[in-house]
Structure 1
Amino acid sequence: MSTTTVIKSDVANPELASEGKKKIEWAARNMPVLAQIKDRFVKEKPFTGMRIAACMHVTTETANLMLALKAGGADIALCASNPLSTQDDTAAALVFEYGISVFAKNGIDREGFYKHLNSALDIKPQLVFDDGCDLVNVIHTSRTELIEGVMAGCEETTTGVIRLSQMAKDGALKFPMIAVNDTDTKHMFDNRYGTGQSTFDAIFRATNTLIAGKIVVVAGFGYCGKGVAERAKGLGAEVIVTEIDPTKALDALMQGFRVMPMTKAAAVGDLFITVTGNRDVLRDEHFKQMKDGAILANSGHFDIEIDVAWLEKNAKEKNLKMRHQTDEYVMADGRRILLIAEGRLANLGAAEGHPASVMDMSFSDQALTAEWLLKAGTGLSAGLHEVPVSIDKDVARLKLESMGSTLDVLTPAQELYLNSWEHGS
């Protein structure tokens, strides 16, 4: 049975709980697949006695995932994966309306961030939910005494999967982690459609700029980059893509986007959006070429895709919060560079992240994968594993049904044809 009986928390303002509850309920209306899973969890209680530590964006959508797991009997401790994405009213509601331990405050500093990570880990988790591999990293560095008790975990971001892949390659990953990020439903809805829409939502809120007629430079053409580039094109922008992968670069070119190195794109772009999962994608050599008024936004995971430290050091003047989550750096020659959300995730730092209907898919994948791990987790080897295809297909089917669409069904003859080799053409 669970050993945690007291709800613990560190949130900004308990008085925001009632407002947060309304927003959580609003998001739930647009998460029908997760609602069906939650209803089943209420009846079956698959997580009874299980302790789950989660490091995720503390938003209304995440709240509904936590409520589904709690409905299934889980004992949960949630901390924030990004200080700027935390919705303080949501955090308060989870604690004081729903009885879930939460450690999250918007804008908290680095020391507080790691304090919250450790507070969540004090639950001594058997399952971990991560967004960027921070929780797993802490377990493997400063909280190694917890490793033996962790059955398995889920990772929902590209950046986190990259980190976990390297850990697994080096033999450093000591328990199985499931790459929920790599499901087709996650890539399609969350990374592509979610990132594409929410990134521009953030840019609009932060700068109120017109995209039509602008030159938008998209760094990275993975699923997130595809979504951003498609939305930019749809809004009337000329789109330039920068890439290190020749296949992805060719894909971008064949879709009608210009492809060039950032060293060339920096001189012509009006708006730069990084979605690579790497560091220093925009750096000194690029800043020195940029136009006056260039806008920088990061929709990768961490705040190192844009070399903010260089801007801080070399700008002759810094004007904080010229607009909502927009800082202005004035260079020695008078050029102004505008940075959204301090270089952190723009769509969560300057907006509300992906729409709830998008996260319905990703978090349904998470919930069903966690349930699957209860049976499969003890038999998996330490390392990085994929989500079973059956889970991905179930989520897609449920989402289709919730949107009023149905699938064709194979006839017996078609089934036989597809599953045999004897028939000719």
Structure 2
Amino acid sequence: MKRPKFFYLIAGFFILAIFLAGCAGQKGNEQGKSAGHPNVLKANWQDVLSQAKGQTVNIYLYGGSESTNNYIDNWVAPRLKKQFGVQLNRVPVNDTKDIINKLVSEKQAGKKDGSIDVMWINGENFLMSKKNNLLWDSFSPKLPNVKKYVNQNSPAIKNDFGEPTQGVEAPWSQAQFVFTYDSNKVKHPPKSAEALKQWVKQHPGKFTYPAPPDFTGSAFIRNMLYETTGGYKQYLKPLDKQTGLDNIVKALWNYLNAIEPYLWRKGETYPESASKLDQLYASGAVWLTMGYDPAHAANEVKDGRFPKSTRTFVLKDGTLSNTSYLSIPFNSPHKAAAMVAINFMLSPKAQIAKSDPENWGALMAIDPNKLSSKGQKQLNAIDRGKATLPSKVLANHRVPEIPAGYVDYLEKGWMEHVAKH
């Protein structure tokens, strides 16, 4: 029997609908395989743990610190694998900006499944990530250990160099700028900008600082900005809200130019990195070095690179402190496993271990007051070494970081007013 034309028309639509549904299902399955549960932020934590099991997390971070690398490779990774079935793969980079550039390239190329699952960032790099929509979503408040142990209302946690974090990064570590000296050579370390100027003039060639934009060198000039222009409070507002800033900052450039002739090599050249400055200190060429890790000097003493007479100090009016964070990129293929890894690294056990110089020696991001009595005893029992200042001394001398927008302004200003002066 001859079938009517509309029968074939209906049959054709039916076949097409089945084909399209199959394609959509296949696409959905492919997305599920690459990105995990599409609603991982809505899933309960047990479901997140189930999704994460068997996945590998690529964590990208600065690779120049042996103590950091040791902590990740030998403490975190084996425990994360054993407890949660998640493999942690550390990918070192020379500069965090390399991570940001990689993500920008992947976004421009439309790469939905990237190679970075977790990255260690803060400051300028966070601001750049946020501006370019390189970060995933507000995952941090969903983590059990953030809910239980992090003071989420603390300004040092809520804002990253003045920029609201909005949950797209989880606090991992805290740092504070300290000066390092050889107590056999420096009997009375200079604890203000003016005292440092006098010391430098009295000991020509024995002090220098890394050239910005090196992170440590840039931090030094920010701290000197506070010292020479009347403190940090005037810089808490955004750069574009400042008036007459060029005139205010002249005091900083005048100060740095005044000490330049008395620096190592008469200020004609500067170390290009903090590690180069450390080498100068270790060899005795200079008597002071500096850095953003209060435990770094103790670790260098322990490893035999710095003399045993090494000690650290902070300025009487305070030194810069900040929080660094772990974040998940927009195209991480293993978001559930990334959340599990970050949550584990924010557990009391992992944070206390991180505080131990035997593992790393970095300051905790979780609130010590939220620890159990057992956890507090473990934290207090850690031997930080003679070169590390007590936590209370550090806490009493913390001043906040400048908003990220100022960093580039100051680094360019240093090149123009000091380096080329």
Q: Into which bin does the TM-score normalised by the smaller protein fall? A: 0.3 to 0.5
Q: Normalised by the size of structure 2, how large is the TM-score?
A: 0.33
Higher radius of gyration, 1 or 2: 2
Q: Normalised by the size of structure 1, how large is the TM-score?
A: 0.33
